[in-house]
Structure 1
């Protein structure tokens, strides 16, 4: 899964882009605690399984 595809999943769940620090996009949710960070420096390559799992856990989707 590419960073763009992971971003679509996060945005569909209600997360909103809060800030961009270098190549990392950070998202916040109006009701869920914490932030989700997606690294975009791997474009157009797929995210590693470990990174993808971390993103989904941060978002409360796994």
Structure 2
């Protein structure tokens, strides 16, 4: 999953883009901040993706 794809999913989960610094997009929700690196269409490394999802406290594998 690329950074751009992850940002789209996080926005659907209620996160708002706060700012962009270089290639990192900072999203905000309920006072929490999450940084998502965007390097073109390159996939995020699995560990990076896992950490971002943990910080954002979201699990897209679960059904509502």
TM over 0.5: yes
Runs of 4+ in structure 1 off by over 3 angstroms are: none
5+ long unaligned stretches in structure 1: none
TM-score normalized by the length of structure 2: 0.83
CA RMSD in angstroms, aligned pairs only: 1.1
1:36 aligns with 2:26: no
TM-score normalized by the length of structure 1: 0.85
Alpha-carbon distance between aligned partners in 1 of 2:53 and 2:43, rounded to the nearest angstrom: 15
Q: How many residues align?
A: 59
